[in-house]
C-alpha cells in the first residue's frame, strides 16, 4: 500500500468516525483517532480474528452481571499529548466501571486523562508473525507503564510464530505477566502449561487456536451460546436439531 493510498483511506474514514473540527474545539482530538497506526495497516490472520472474537464473547458473558467494560483493538491514550502513539490491546477488560449505553456507542478511543477512563485491568495480545517480538519483549514494560494489573500474550498460529528458545522442544503458546507495586513479575506456567489469573479468577489454558478459561475446579468457562447448548443437552435435546 502506497503513502498516497494510505492518505486517501485516512480521508475516507476520518469523517464517519470523528468530526475533527468539533473534537479540536473540545480539546478532545488525537491524531491517531483518524490516522492509521502501523498495527492498523497489518493484515489479520484468521486465527487472530477468531480468537479475539471468542475472548470478547466469553468475557462479556462471564462478567455480564458485573460493571465492566470489554473492548477490542481500541486506541488507549495515557496522557493528553495529541500526537502520542496509542497502545491498542487486542482485547482489554476494565473492571469496576459503569458506562452508559450511549457512552459505549460513542466510544472511539480510551482517553485515560478523562475521569471515567481508568487503566485496563487485564489485556490480551494475540501474536502475529510481524508482532510477536513486540508482544513478548516490549509490551510487558509498556503495560506496566500504562497501569494494567495483568497482561497475557498468546500464539494461536499453526505453526507457532514464537521463537523463544530454538532448542526448546515443547511448544509454548502462552505467557503472562502481573504487575504489583510497580514491578513486573512473569507468571509461571504450571506442569500442564496453564497460567493462573488472579484478576480473572481463572486458569488460562492453551487449546491450539483458542485460549480457554477454566475455574479453580477445572471446569471450562462457557460463552452464553455454549451455556444455552449445555442446558439443552441436559434436557436431552440436541442443539443441532433446532
Q: What is the pLDDT of residues 173-200, one digit of tens each?
A: 999 999 999 999 999 999 999 999 999 9
> Of 13-22, 44-53, 81-90, 210-219, which one has max mean pLDDT?
210-219
**So what's the pLDDT on residue 166?**
53
**What percent of the chain has pLDDT above 90?**
57
CB of 75 closer than 8 Å to CB of 32? yes
Q: What pLDDT, in 10s, does the model give residues 124-151?
A: 999 988 889 999 999 999 999 999 999 9
Q: Which residues pair with 87 in a beta bridge?
A: 76
Length, in residues, of the chain: 242
Q: Is 14 helix (H, G, I), strand (E, B) or coil?
A: helix
Give the C-alpha separation, 39 to 22, whole Å: 26
Q: How far apart are CA 197 and CA 64, in angstroms?
A: 19
Q: Which of the four pLDDT bands, split at 50, 70 and 90, describes residue 13?
A: very low
Q: Is the pTM of this model over 0.95?
A: no
Beta-bridged to residue 202, according to DSSP, are: 197
Sheet holding 210-214, edge to edge: 195-197, 202-207, 210-214
Q: How many helices (H) and strands (E) does the chain have?
A: 7, 11
Amino acid at each position: 500500500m502506497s503513502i498516497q493510498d494510505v492518505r486517501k483511506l485516512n480521508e475516507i474514514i476520518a469523517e464517519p468516525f470523528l468530526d475533527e473540527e468539533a473534537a479540536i474545539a473540545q480539546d478532545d482530538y488525537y491524531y491517531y483517532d483518524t490516522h492509521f497506526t502501523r498495527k492498523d495497516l497489518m493484515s489479520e490472520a484468521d486465527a487472530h480474528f477468531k480468537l479475539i472474537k471468542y475472548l470478547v464473547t466469553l468475557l462479556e458473558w462471564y462478567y455480564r452481571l458485573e460493571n465492566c467494560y470489554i473492548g477490542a483493538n481500541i486506541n488507549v491514550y495515557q496522557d493528553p499529548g495529541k500526537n502520542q502513539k496509542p497502545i491498542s490491546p487486542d482485547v482489554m477488560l476494565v473492571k469496576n466501571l459503569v458506562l452508559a449505553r450511549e457512552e459505549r456507542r460513542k466510544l472511539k478511543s480510551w482517553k485515560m486523562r478523562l475521569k471515567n477512563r481508568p487503566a485496563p485491568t487485564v489485556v490480551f495480545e494475540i501474536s502475529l508473525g510481524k508482532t510477536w517480538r513486540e508482544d513478548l519483549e516490549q509490551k510487558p514494560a509498556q503495560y506496566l507503564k500504562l497501569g494494567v494489573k495483568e497482561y497475557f500474550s498468546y500464539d494461536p498460529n499453526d505453526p507457532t510464530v514464537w521463537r523463544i528458545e530454538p532448542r526448546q522442544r515443547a511448544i509454548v503458546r502462552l505467557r503472562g505477566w502481573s504487575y504489583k507495586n510497580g514491578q513486573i513479575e512473569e507468571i509461571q506456567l504450571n506442569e500442564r502449561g496453564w497460567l493462573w489469573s488472579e484478576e480473572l479468577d481463572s486458569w488460562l489454558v492453551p487449546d491450539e487456536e483458542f485460549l480457554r478459561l477454566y475455574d479453580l475446579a477445572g471446569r471450562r468457562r462457557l460463552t452464553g451460546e455454549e451455556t444455552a447448548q449445555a442446558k439443552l443437552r441436559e434436557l436431552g435435546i440436541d442443539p443441532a436439531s433446532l
